[in-house]
Amino acid sequence: MKEYRNGFSSLGSLPLCPYFETGDCDKGDKCQFVHGDVCDLCNVPCLHPTDTEQRAQHRRECIDAHEAAMEEAFAEARSADIYLNNSILTFYLIMQGFICFEI
């Protein structure tokens, strides 16, 4: 049986390098950990090259985070639209004389 770094029996059993994920690993091929593949959604090298379950789990988490961010962005956009529409309506009502201000 081939032995990988630190006595692990397979590449799949090696953990991901936490330093490479943040861009701080300077050991390259001599690193005792696996350097991950880059996720196309979050652009972080956090996908284990041989662990398909970890890759699928990360992808689900990434998609969930992306969907939550989109929902928040849409909610903010709807809020801005309501504010803008109310401002336009108020301006229209002022111009039509339905609303007047006394000084």
Only one residue has tokens 């005792």, namely 32
Please say whether the beta carbons of 69 and 50 come within 8 A: no
Q: What is the pTM of this model?
A: 0.59
Residue type, 75: A
Tens-digit pLDDT profile for residues 20-30: 999 899 999 89
What SS3 state is found at 47? strand
pLDDT of residue 3: 40
Instruction: Report residue 76's pLDDT band, with 50, 70 and 90 as the boundaries.
Output: confident
pLDDT of residue 12: 64
Torsion, Cα of 61, 63, 65, 67 (10° steps): -150
- Kindly tell me if the per-residue pLDDT of 5 is higher than 60: no
